[in-house]
Structure 1
Amino acid sequence: MDKQRQYERVFNHLDENGDGKISASELQQCVASMGGKMSVEESEAAVRLMDSDGDGLLCLEDFVRIVEGAGDEEKGTDLMGAFKMYEMEGCGYINPKSLKRMLRRLGESKSTNECRKMIARFDLNGDGVLSFDEFKNMMSC
C-alpha cells in the first residue's frame, strides 16, 4: 500500500462523522483513544495551527502536510505550534513547570528539577526558560 493510501486510511479513521474533515473534537477523541489527554482549548489550538484554509477543520491535505512536514516555512510553523503547546501559558517561553506538564501529557514523567536541567542544556541566555529561538535550536539537535 502506498503512502497516500495509508494517510487516507488513518485520516478516515480519525474522521468519525465521515465529513472529510477532522474537527477539534475528533482530534481530542483520537488523543483520548490513545490514552492521552487534550483539553478542548488545546485541540482547538492545534487545529487552528494546522488548518490551511481557515475553516476550523483539518482536511486530508492538512493532515498529509503535517505528517510529512513539508517545506521549511511549514516546518517553522509546525515548530511554532509545538512551541505553543509546550509553552501553554501564553508567556512566550517554556518554563520547567510547563515542560513538565506537557511531558506528562505525552506519557513521560519528569520532576521539575529534571525539567530545569533539560531547559538549562539549551538555555543560551541563562534566564532559566526557553525562548522560541532556543526551542528551535533544541529541536535541530
Structure 2
Amino acid sequence: MATIGEFRRVFSAFDQDGDGKISAAELQLCMKAALGCDMSVEEVQSLMASADTDGDGLLDKEEFLRLVLETEAGKEEEGDRCREAFGMYEMEGRGCITPLSLQLMMSKLGLHLAVDECQAMIRRFDLNGDGVLTFDEFKTMMMMG
C-alpha cells in the first residue's frame, strides 16, 4: 500500500491548476493519463459525489485521501474474500487447487463433474501450465467470473 506522502504527490499531480482542490475535469483527465482509465462524465461525477463530504463539488486533500484509502481497503477486502474462497477449494494442503479438490468442492455445491471436466476448467486459468491453480490464478478466475 502506498504511503500518505505518495498520495499527496498524486494529489498534487491531479491538482493541475494548483488551487488545492481537484475538480471533476481534473479527476477525469488524470484518471485517463495516469491509469488509462476512460471514465464517463457520469462516472466521474458519481465518484466525486461519493468523496465530496463538504458538498463544494471539489475534492480537497483530505477528501481525496479518504477516497483513495477506501478504494485500497476495498481491494484488500476483495483479496481476503478470494483467499477465503481459495481455502475452501484447496483441500489437499498443497497450496493449490487440483482437479480432485475442485471436483470435491463442486460436488459439495451440487454440481457433479468428472475429473477431466475439472481439468478442463483448471486449464482455462492455469497460466503456468502446471495443471493446478495457484491463488493468483484462482483470483484471476474469480474476477473474470
Normalised TM-score (structure 1): 0.50
